[in-house]
């Protein structure tokens, strides 16, 4: 309720602070850059093969599941995925670069 004597803002002027640019959205951090100088050519070749398997449209989407799970699914539905991929994956079960798909570093 206002008094007859005036508002407090008559004696103390309102000073609006310059509004900061709207809170900047936290963008998801991009994955760290790949290690350079991976000298093992066999490993490079194997990873290339797995990359091709990931990008092959016949076996369905590759994100969110491990490569072995995707291979099993393709086998289940009779799509004849190459056996050598499976052998390669079973040999390198612990290496995350082999196990998960190309997009493993990105969230959903």
Partner 1 sequence: MFSDLSAQKEGSSLLCRPASEVQGPVFERMPPTYSPCSERYTFKERSFSRQYAHIYAARLMQMRPLLSERAQQKWGSDVLIRKLCDLQTAEQCCIVGTFFKRMDLQPSILKEISEEHNLLPQPARAKFISETDELILEDELQRIKLEGKIDRDKCVTGSIIAIYGAERNDGKFTVEDFCTADLPLQTARPALSSDRFVLLASGLGLGSIHADSMLGLQLLVDMVTGQLGDQGEQSGAATISRVLLAGNLLSPSTQDKDASTKAKYLTKKTQAGSVEAIRLLDELLLQLAASVSVDVMPGQYDPTNYTLPQQPLHRCMFPLSSVYPTLQLVSNPYQANVDGVRFLGTSGQNVSDIQRYSSMDSHLEILEETLRLRHLAPTAPDTLGCYPFYQKDPFILEECPHVYFSGNAPTFESKLIKGADGQEVLLVTVPEFSSTQTACLVNLRTLECEPVRFSAFSADDDEESEMNISH
Nearest C-alpha neighbor of 73 from the set 97, 47, 101, 93? 101
User: What is the smallest separation between the CB atom of 56 and partner 1, expressed in angstroms?
Assistant: 11
**9-68 positions binding partner 1, by CB under 8 A:** 57-58, 60-61, 63-65
Single out the residue of 1, 8, 14, 108 in contact with partner 1 (rule: CB under 8 A). Answer: 108
Single out the residue of 49, 68, 72, 104 in contact with partner 1 (rule: CB under 8 A). Answer: 72
Of 15 and 76, nearer to partner 1 (C-beta) is: 76
Burial of 20 (0-12, 13-18, 19+ CB in 10 A): exposed
Per-residue burial over 23-39, b if 16 or more Cβ lie within 10 Å, else e, is eeeeeeeeeeeeeeeee
Single out the residue of 43, 68, 69, 92 in contact with partner 1 (rule: CB under 8 A). Answer: 69
Yes or no: say if 67 and 99 are a contact pair by the CB < 8 Å rule.
Answer: yes
Of 47 and 100, nearer to partner 1 (C-beta) is: 100
Residues of this chain that bind partner 1 (CB under 8 A): 57-58, 60-61, 63-65, 69, 72-73, 76-79, 108
């Amino acid at each position: 309720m206002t008094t007859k004597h005036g508002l407090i803002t008559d004696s103390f002027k309102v000073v609006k602070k310059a509004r900061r640019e709207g809170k900047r959205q936290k963008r998801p951090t991009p994955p760290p850059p790949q290690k350079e100088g991976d000298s093992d050519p066999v490993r490079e070749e194997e990873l290339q093969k797995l990359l091709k398997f990931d990008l092959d449209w016949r076996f369905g989407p590759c994100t969110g599941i491990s490569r072995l799970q995707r291979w099993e699914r393709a086998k289940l539905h009779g799509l004849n995925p190459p056996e050598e991929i499976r052998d390669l994956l079973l040999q390198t079960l612990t290496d995350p670069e082999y196990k998960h798909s190309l997009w493993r570093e990105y969230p959903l």
